[in-house]
Amino acid sequence: MSAPADQNGTVAYADHALRRLKALGASGDPRNFAAWFTYATGCSPSQNAVVNDRLKEKGNISAPEIENIYGYAPPDAGAGRAEALAVTAIDEMRKTVAAIDAAASVIAGYGDELLAIAGKLDGMPDRATVTSLVEELQGMTRSMQARNDAFLASLQVPHREMREVRRKANELRCDRRSDALTGLANRAFFEGELNRSLAGTDGSTLCLLLLDIDRLATINEAFGQTVGDEILRVVSHSLRQHLQPNDVAARIGPETFAVLLPATRPRSALTVADHVRHRVMGMHFTKRSTGESMGRVTLSGGVASYRAGETPWALLRRADTCVGAAKRNGGNRVIADTDALAGAA
């Protein structure tokens, strides 16, 4: 499916996704819809092919499966953590309000006592009465100071708790936009950044780089998921070593990474990709429990340069097509959209 730039194209993608959900009897939650919307755009032919193979083999595909294929991670304890934080915040605010109400009552009482003393002074009392009133005022002041200290102390616990709630809320916000395994951005956050970048571009050079780990599924089957996870972490770390401050890197699929490179020409994007590829290829991976070598781990990549008026889906599709061309030509290489091999694909 092509990726038109107009609104009708977006509506068509959404309609296609809804029809798929209905036909498969799947849930229409945001992540599942987002995965089928991505399928409808055709921006990731390689991932679409995986979905099509699953459908052909089983006749259906579960929400967790398709969400994982497109990098839309299923919900973890995020919703529960957010609810717990809200309950804690509300509880601490109630405690704070109760403490403030109690303090307001004390202050009001202290004001009434001061007014009573002022009334006694209006009648020009004798020396003994003044002395008594002064002593009474001193006692009231000491009592008020003690109550004020107690009030401040009562606010310390809610204050600490609210700071902790704020800290956890910040962590939760980061979790919602990050990939838990690699710490890079997740697909949803990356797509938002890509949309913003293309909407605000002034025609300056912008490149999209996709990197796919060759044979990761085979490695997982042969050596276990733990080894595969370590490879993913190594690739993400290697990516970070070559990013500029304005670059955005994300894990957008089980074995696929994307990097948005603003103000970058294709040749520079290819250089970045090759540096990462060679860095990973030069590492030696072994299974710790047995010392068994996994051999060389390689990457296949694709670089697409933004074209004026192009949609994010079209840009992603062209980059993914380049990745497919790299894999068909032996893998362990990076192909740009200007390469003849990409044109042949």
Give the pLDDT of residue 83.
55
Whether 153 and 213 map to the same domain: the answer is: no
- Pick the last residue of a domain from 177, 202, 234: 177
Judge whether residue 168 has pLDDT over 90. no
Strands 334-336 and 299-305: parallel
Whether 205 and 334 map to the same domain: the answer is: yes
Going by C-alpha positions, the residue among 149, 138, 88 that lies closest to residue 113 is: 138
Q: Which of 93-107, 228-242, 304-318 has the lowest mean pLDDT?
A: 93-107
Q: Give the range of the structural domain holding residue 120, as residue numbers without chain letter.
A: 78-177
Give the pLDDT of residue 207.
95
Cα(47)–Cα(66) distance, integer angstroms: 9
Tell me the pLDDT band of 2, cut-offs 50, 70 and 90. Answer: very low
Whether 158 and 225 map to the same domain: the answer is: no
Instruction: Give pLDDT tens digits for 107-146.
Output: 667 666 766 766 666 666 666 776 777 777 777 777 777 7
Judge whether residue 317 has pLDDT over 70. yes
Whether 217 and 284 map to the same domain: the answer is: yes
Report the 10 Å Cβ neighbour count for 334.
24
Whether 247 and 305 map to the same domain: the answer is: yes
Percent above pLDDT 70 for the chain: 72
Instruction: Give pLDDT tens digits for 245-269.
Output: 899 999 999 999 999 999 899 999 9
Amino acid (1-letter code) at residue 216: L
Whether 192 and 164 map to the same domain: the answer is: no
Give the pLDDT of residue 77.
45
Whether 114 and 213 map to the same domain: the answer is: no
Whether 167 and 217 map to the same domain: the answer is: no
Position with higher pLDDT, 83 vs 150: 150
3-state secondary structure of 259: strand
Contact 190, 198 (CB under 8 A): no
The reply to whether 2 falls in a domain is no
Q: Considering Cα of 172, then 14, then 67, then 272, what sign does the dihedral take?
A: negative
Tell me the pLDDT band of 322, cut-offs 50, 70 and 90. Answer: very high
Helix (H) or strand (E) holding 163: helix 127-177
3-state secondary structure of 118: helix
Instruction: Give pLDDT tens digits for 93-103.
Output: 667 767 666 76
Report the 10 Å Cβ neighbour count for 130.
13
